[in-house]
Chains A and B, each alone.
Chain A
Amino acid sequence: MGKLPPSLRSANFAVNTLIKTPSSSVPHSKIPSPSPPSTSKPHYFPKKSLSPKRKPTSNNQQPQLPSIVAFDSTTLSDAKTLFNSLISNPKNVPSDPKFYNSILQSFSSNSTLQDSIFFLNHMIKTHPPFSPDRFTYHVLLIQSCKSVDHSLSPVHQVLNLMTSNGFPPNKVSTDIAVRTLCSSNHEEQAIELVKELSSKDSPPDTYTYNFIVRHLCKNRSLSNMNSFIKEMRDGFDIKPDLVTYTIMIDNVCNSKNLREATRLLGVLSEEGYKPDCYVYNTIMKGYCMLSQGGEVLSVYKKMQEEGVKPDLVTYNTLIYGLSKSGRVKDAKKFLSVMMEEGHIPDAVTYTSLMNGMCREGDPLGALALLERMEARGCAPNSCTYNTLLHGLCKARLLDKGMELYDVMKKNGMKLETGSYGTFLRALCRNGRVAEAYEVFDYAVESKSLTDVAAYTTLESTLKWLKKAREQGLVI
Chain B
Amino acid sequence: MLPQRMKKAMTDNPKKLANLIDLVNLPSTLREFMGQSQTSRLGCFKRVWSYIKENNLQDPNNKNLVNCDEKLKSILLGKPQVELTELPTLIKLHFPKAPR
Q: How far is the CA of A277 from the CA of B29 in the complex (A)?
A: 67
Confirm or deny: B7 has a beta carbon within 8 angstroms of a beta carbon on chain A: yes
Contact partners of A466 in chain B: CB under 8 A: 85-86, 89
Q: How far is the CA of A462 from the CA of B7 in the complex (A)?
A: 13
- Whether B58 and A434, one on each chain, are in contact in the complex, defined by CB atoms closer than 8 angstroms, is yes
Give the dominant DSSP class at B's interface. Answer: helix
Q: Which of these, A433, A456, A459, A463, contacts B64 with CB under 8 Å?
A: A433
Q: Which of these, B1, B10, B89, contacts A456 with CB under 8 Å?
A: B10
Confirm or deny: B77 has a beta carbon within 8 angstroms of a beta carbon on chain A: no
Q: How far is the CA of A465 from the CA of B64 in the complex (A)?
A: 13
Confirm or deny: B26 has a beta carbon within 8 angstroms of a beta carbon on chain A: no
Q: How far is the CA of A329 from the CA of B22 in the complex (A)?
A: 51
Q: Which of these, B4, B11, B88, contacts A5 with CB under 8 Å?
A: B4
- Whether B4 and A452, one on each chain, are in contact in the complex, defined by CB atoms closer than 8 angstroms, is no
- Whether B1 and A455, one on each chain, are in contact in the complex, defined by CB atoms closer than 8 angstroms, is no
Q: Which of these, A5, A433, A459, contacts B1 with CB under 8 Å?
A: A5
Q: How far is the CB of A221 from chain B (nearest CB, A)?
A: 23
Q: How far is the CB of B15 from chain A (nearest CB, A)?
A: 13
**Which residues B1-58 have CB closer than 8 A to chain A?**
1-4, 7, 10-11, 17, 20-21, 42, 45-46, 49, 58
**Which residues A1-48 have CB closer than 8 A to chain B?**
1-2, 4-6
**Which residues A442-475 have CB closer than 8 A to chain B?**
444, 451-453, 455-460, 462-463, 465-466
- Whether B84 and A456, one on each chain, are in contact in the complex, defined by CB atoms closer than 8 angstroms, is no
Q: How far is the CA of A397 from the CA of B3 in the complex (A)?
A: 21
Known interface pairs A421-B3, A451-B46, A452-B21. Does A460 touch B85 (Cβ–Cβ under 8 Å)? no
Confirm or deny: B69 has a beta carbon within 8 angstroms of a beta carbon on chain A: no
Q: How far is the CA of A93 from the CA of B83 in the complex (A)?
A: 77
Confirm or deny: A437 has a beta carbon within 8 angstroms of a beta carbon on chain B: yes
- Whether A1 and B7, one on each chain, are in contact in the complex, defined by CB atoms closer than 8 angstroms, is no
Confirm or deny: B63 has a beta carbon within 8 angstroms of a beta carbon on chain A: yes
Q: How far is the CB of A14 from chain B (nearest CB, A)?
A: 18
Q: How far is the CA of A400 from the CA of B3 in the complex (A)?
A: 24
Contact partners of B2 in chain A: CB under 8 A: 1-2
- Whether B42 and A452, one on each chain, are in contact in the complex, defined by CB atoms closer than 8 angstroms, is yes
- Whether B4 and A433, one on each chain, are in contact in the complex, defined by CB atoms closer than 8 angstroms, is no
Known interface pairs A2-B2, A433-B83. Does A459 touch B88 (Cβ–Cβ under 8 Å)? yes
Q: How far is the CB of B37 from chain A (nearest CB, A)?
A: 21
Contact-residue size bin, chain A (C-beta under 8 Å from the other chain): 20 to 34
- Whether A455 and B85, one on each chain, are in contact in the complex, defined by CB atoms closer than 8 angstroms, is no
Q: How far is the CB of B83 from chain A (nearest CB, A)?
A: 7
CB-nearest residue of chain A to B10: A456
Confirm or deny: A417 has a beta carbon within 8 angstroms of a beta carbon on chain B: yes
Contact partners of A4 in chain B: CB under 8 A: 1
Contact partners of B87 in chain A: CB under 8 A: 462
Q: How far is the CA of A364 from the CA of B30 in the complex (A)?
A: 48
Q: How far is the CA of A448 from the CA of B33 in the complex (A)?
A: 29
CB-nearest residue of chain A to B91: A459
Known interface pairs A433-B85, A437-B49, A462-B88. Does A453 touch B11 (Cβ–Cβ under 8 Å)? yes
Q: How far is the CA of A64 from the CA of B51 in the complex (A)?
A: 56
Q: How far is the CB of A454 from chain B (nearest CB, A)?
A: 10
- Whether A431 and B4, one on each chain, are in contact in the complex, defined by CB atoms closer than 8 angstroms, is no
- Whether A457 and B21, one on each chain, are in contact in the complex, defined by CB atoms closer than 8 angstroms, is no
> Which among B1, B11, B42, B83 has the highest number of chain A CB atoms within 10 Å?
B1
Q: How far is the CA of A465 from the CA of B89 in the complex (A)?
A: 13
10 CB-based A-B contacts, threshold 8 Å: A434-B63, A434-B84, A437-B49, A437-B84, A451-B46, A452-B20, A452-B21, A456-B20, A460-B7, A466-B89
Contacts from B to A (Cβ < 8 Å): 1-4, 7, 10-11, 17, 20-21, 42, 45-46, 49, 58, 63-64, 83-89
Closest 9 CB pairs of A and B: A434-B63, A1-B1, A433-B64, A5-B1, A433-B84, A459-B88, A462-B85, A434-B64, A433-B85
